[in-house]
Amino acid sequence: LTTFRSEVSVPERRTDGCLITYRGVPKPEEEITFTRHIAPIMQNHCQKCHRSGTAAPFSLISYDDVAGQGEMVSEVVSERRMPPWYASPRHGHFANDPSLSRKQVDTIAQWVDAGMPEGDAADLPPPVEFSDPTWRIGEPDLVLKTATHKVPPDGFLPYKYVILPYVFLQETWIEAAE
């Protein structure tokens, strides 16, 4: 293997082509507030996971919760990283699809851009009542426990295969896992 080191004669070159125009966030027709616009979005798309006692790393229940994470929430919904949804729409509509519409994503961005106004407490929808049963998926037919894996606070985490300590003797469909 031979390596050649030399200076690049032209480190940058202007090229012909089209300019890329990124889609900006449209201006709202009315003032976007947490109580009237953002709270319902959080309730319908985020709070199932982002509340106390769940796997999500923080809550998105109150104004303070959401405003404290506002910039990040706007970024992850704009990039479609949240809410997580991996099913392909080519296979039809799924009743439990938590995805946000383009209008909802824009509403969150507009709210953050406007400084995250709270709004009138009278506009706040009633809180969602979550039942906290032992199993969030309903009583299971079978419980399998796997080995635990330590997750470091930072750095690289190699992919882990989870092996179920059970042999299924016939074709088996899994409806839900928790």
pLDDT tens digits along 35-65:
999 999 999 999 988 998 787 889 999 999 9
Global pTM value? 0.66
Q: What is the pLDDT of residue 133?
A: 61
Burial of 130 (0-12, 13-18, 19+ CB in 10 A): middle
pLDDT in tens, 112-168: 999 999 999 999 999 998 876 667 677 888 888 887 777 777 888 888 888 878 888
Region 21-31: mean pLDDT is 74
> By C-alpha distance, which of 59, 75, 66 is closest to 34?
66
